[in-house]
Structure 1
């Protein structure tokens, strides 16, 4: 097993380093943000009361467990630390199981003395070690900042245990689905669904009289994210939910080994849909093929964009009442959005998430080009009358179309929400400006990921998603964590145009457009000289 673990470490050291470093920085920056922005008990009580009074904000925050610095830090950071661990575990589990089978590596290893079971066991150990390191370093960063050791260890452990639970889910998904793409998609959607179930369970819970603590409903016990929050670091410090998450992860891992023994190499329990005997006219061109390969994933991001848009303007109708009851909500939103009026800030905050979704759709599409190249399926296309630049340009075009569709879905439902709630007509301009601004911001990720694909093809997957992770942390959480403005402005989504106090603020629009043009042109130009890098 040791040689297999060394091989996995060589392949994954960069990706794992980025995930773990992101978690450590998020935890440490969260401590700085809490102590700087919410340094007094009164400040923290105001925020917790505002969140408890607004179910939708509570959906995307942690579980209120008191007004101490530690409990407030867990409320701010724990769901997102757990999400980082979950996504890290998802890609790790699928890459070394179904991904290796797709690439033919699994069959080669199985033909040696290792057999079929040992590589899967090595993947399980690999995932456990990665989550343990993430948990430990996260806890150490908080202890170094001056936080209580027990609470810090439990907060880091809660994130790591969530990763272990999702590791098991990813391993089972890799047995069920025929492709690594399908296994990743299934696991990610389950992660998103359980994250939302956790939020619904908190919303359906019972707040304390002072609105600083919520007793969650039974729904949270259906979600590994809910188990993590029930640890309540720096408050109850209950380790039992950690044992539940670890136990479920190990049971699912054992189930994955059992399922693997019941199928042939390369087979799956959910077969792929049979293809048509003849190709349709829609597949008569290379760009149509790219669209056919990508449209299913793009549809999921479009649905997410539509939901984000309707929430943006539906909540906008409630903004005035919420601000009147507790101005802390307005202060939070305005700090994130750096916008003026509260309804403008509400739209800006949610459209920041819309920009992230659009960027995810773009990066996933460009990464698809790398997967086609690594798996050797790009070669038959390039063997026809299709040049390398045209082949790659089709992926960039489809990625751009994906950005447009996601943003358009969000803007369309936002307009519908304004009409349904009788919102002021001025909000139409806010939606238009902010939506188009996030379109420009998301396009930066398309161009930069394309440039990485050309220069460092093997780093495409890691670099593309790492850029989105860094931009999300800086753009969405930087202002809350008290980061300097120059640091948050590194994120494209943070410098997109907005409407502030009724005036259009272009902010970094010209820099965004310049980055798109330079990186996009550079990628397509350099692609002329680049050879295929087919090995994964």
Structure 2
């Protein structure tokens, strides 16, 4: 057992350090942002009242439990603390179970006197320990910020137990699916579905008479995110929901261990779909194969883009209402939008999320190239007439196509929303400018991840997602957390063109275009000389 735990720690310590430090930084920055942007009780009451006036926005926020600094901080960032813990845990669970089976490491362990269920048990202990460290550090940083200690420890505890709940989901998905890709896809869909379910439960709840608190509907109890929020840190400070999350994760882990003991190595309980005897004519190229492997996830990201577009035009009135009564919020929005008018900035703020969704699809697509190489399937393809450059260019083309599809979905729904609200010509022009701008920003991450894949293949997945996370924190949350303006400009999302009067302020557009062109050419040029690195 100790040997397996040490091996997992050696493999994971960098990734876990990044996940945990990122979560802790978000907790501290969230508190700093609340104190700077919503410094008075009346500011916080105004925001909560405006949010409750439009239940749709509740689907993407936390649970209002009052207007004190701690309560408002939990409303702002608790869903994202639990989200980071959940993502860390699901990836960890699948990597050390189904991922090890695909790489052949699980077979080597099974050939020793160790029990065949020992790797799953070791992964459970490893994941629980990582979440405990995350929860303790989150609590300590909030206590250090001079928030109420009881509420801080509850916030840390539910962050950890939500991670443990999704650790159990990841372990179970690894037993059900035959591949790590399928297991990761299943856990992500469960994560997104339960996150939205919790949001719907909050939106369908009953507001208090002073509009600072919501009593959620019963739907929230079907989601681990709902359990975390029902603990209500800095309000009632309930420990019961944390126990529910912990028990749920442990029970699923026990079920996963039992399932592993009765299945064959390399098999899953959900059988693989039977393939065709002969491929369709459309699969006659390596690029078409990349599309075939990626189109399912691209559809999911495109749905997110479509939701972003409709929210950008239907919730703009609410954001205007909130900002009109709070000069600090107005300042933040104008920083995000490059100093343009508030009406233009509203759409710019929402479409920043569009760029992030497109970048996520691009990084995921380029990461798949590394997965194919590590699993040895790329070697089979490259043994044919397909060259290295053509093979990598297929992933780059599909990554850019994914960005265009996602941005196109957002722009289409944005136009529909603007038309239904009788938007002006300026609104339609702003949707076009910001949509096209975010395409360029997202394309930066496609070529940067491709360069990482060529130069440091083993760091492709971890470094690609880390750079995207940092760019999101700086570009989207930098002004909210009161960071200097130059830090926002480090992110491609913080320097995209915006409308300014009757014209367009291109800001960092040409730098972004230059990075995309140089990165594309450099990654393909360097790929000519790189040897395959098929070991995981």
- The answer to whether the 8 A contact 1:28-1:142 is kept is yes
- The answer to whether the 8 A contact 1:70-1:234 is kept is yes
Alpha-carbon spacing, 1:324–1:452, altered in 2? closer, same or farther (3 Å): closer
* Deviation of 1:181 (Å): 0.7
What is residue 90 of structure 1 aligned with on the other side? 90
Cα-to-partner distance string for 1:394-414 (whole Å, 9 max, x where unaligned): 111111111111111111121
Of 101-110 and 340-349, the range deviating more from structure 2: 340-349
Cα-to-partner distance string for 1:356-395 (whole Å, 9 max, x where unaligned): 1101110010000000000000111111112212211111
* 1:499 aligned counterpart, secondary structure: strand
- The answer to whether the 8 A contact 1:15-1:462 is kept is yes
Cα-to-partner distance string for 1:461-506 (whole Å, 9 max, x where unaligned): 1111112222222222221111111112222112211224554222
Q: Distance in 2 between matches of 1:350 and 1:223?
A: 26
* Deviation of 1:95 (Å): 0.7
Q: Distance in 1 between matches of 2:318 and 2:163?
A: 36
* Deviation of 1:426 (Å): 1.9
Pair 1:425-2:425 in alignment: yes
* Deviation of 1:514 (Å): 2.0
What is residue 384 of structure 1 aligned with on the other side? 384
* Deviation of 1:92 (Å): 0.4
* Deviation of 1:323 (Å): 6.8
Cα-to-partner distance string for 1:43-78 (whole Å, 9 max, x where unaligned): 222222222222222221111111111111111111
What is residue 308 of structure 2 aligned with on the other side? 308
* Deviation of 1:420 (Å): 2.9
What is residue 270 of structure 1 aligned with on the other side? 270
What is residue 179 of structure 2 aligned with on the other side? 179
* Deviation of 1:338 (Å): 4.8
* 1:279 aligned counterpart, secondary structure: coil
What is residue 456 of structure 2 aligned with on the other side? 456
Of 88-97 and 504-513, the range deviating more from structure 2: 504-513
Q: Distance in 2 between matches of 1:318 and 1:339?
A: 20
Of 286-295 and 14-23, the range deviating more from structure 2: 286-295
* 1:197 aligned counterpart, secondary structure: helix
* 1:173 aligned counterpart, secondary structure: helix
- The answer to whether the 8 A contact 2:51-2:318 is kept is no
What is residue 207 of structure 1 aligned with on the other side? 207
* Deviation of 1:115 (Å): 2.7
- The answer to whether the 8 A contact 1:317-1:343 is kept is no
Pair 1:255-2:255 in alignment: yes
Q: Which portions of structure 1, spanning 4 or more consecutive aligned residues, are displaced by more than 3 angstroms? A: 316-343, 500-503
What is residue 29 of structure 1 aligned with on the other side? 29
Cα-to-partner distance string for 1:220-260 (whole Å, 9 max, x where unaligned): 11111111111111221111110000010101111111221
What is residue 469 of structure 2 aligned with on the other side? 469
* Deviation of 1:272 (Å): 1.4
- The answer to whether the 8 A contact 1:64-1:212 is kept is yes
Alpha-carbon spacing, 1:508–1:60, altered in 2? closer, same or farther (3 Å): same
What is residue 293 of structure 1 aligned with on the other side? 293
TM-score, length of structure 2 as denominator length: 0.96
- The answer to whether the 8 A contact 2:50-2:321 is kept is no
- The answer to whether the 8 A contact 1:30-1:73 is kept is yes
Q: Considering only aligned residues, what root-mean-square deviation do their CA atoms show, in Å?
A: 1.9
Pair 1:124-2:101 in alignment: no
* 1:482 aligned counterpart, secondary structure: coil
Of 164-173 and 290-299, the range deviating more from structure 2: 290-299
Pair 1:495-2:495 in alignment: yes
- The answer to whether the 8 A contact 2:43-2:326 is kept is no
Q: Distance in 2 between matches of 1:328 and 1:48?
A: 15
- The answer to whether the 8 A contact 1:339-1:348 is kept is no
* Deviation of 1:521 (Å): 2.2
Of 245-254 and 49-58, the range deviating more from structure 2: 49-58
Pair 1:58-2:58 in alignment: yes
Q: Distance in 2 between matches of 1:501 and 1:518?
A: 32
What is residue 48 of structure 2 aligned with on the other side? 48
* Deviation of 1:320 (Å): 6.2
Q: How many residues align?
A: 536
Q: Distance in 2 between matches of 1:57 and 1:413?
A: 17
What is residue 79 of structure 1 aligned with on the other side? 79
Any unmatched runs of 5+ in structure 2? none
Q: Distance in 2 between matches of 1:216 and 1:437?
A: 38
Q: Distance in 2 between matches of 1:158 and 1:524?
A: 45
Alpha-carbon spacing, 1:84–1:251, altered in 2? closer, same or farther (3 Å): same
Q: Distance in 2 between matches of 1:214 and 1:480?
A: 24
* 2:351 aligned counterpart, secondary structure: helix
Of 365-374 and 342-351, the range deviating more from structure 2: 342-351
Any unmatched runs of 5+ in structure 1? none
Alpha-carbon spacing, 1:104–1:423, altered in 2? closer, same or farther (3 Å): same
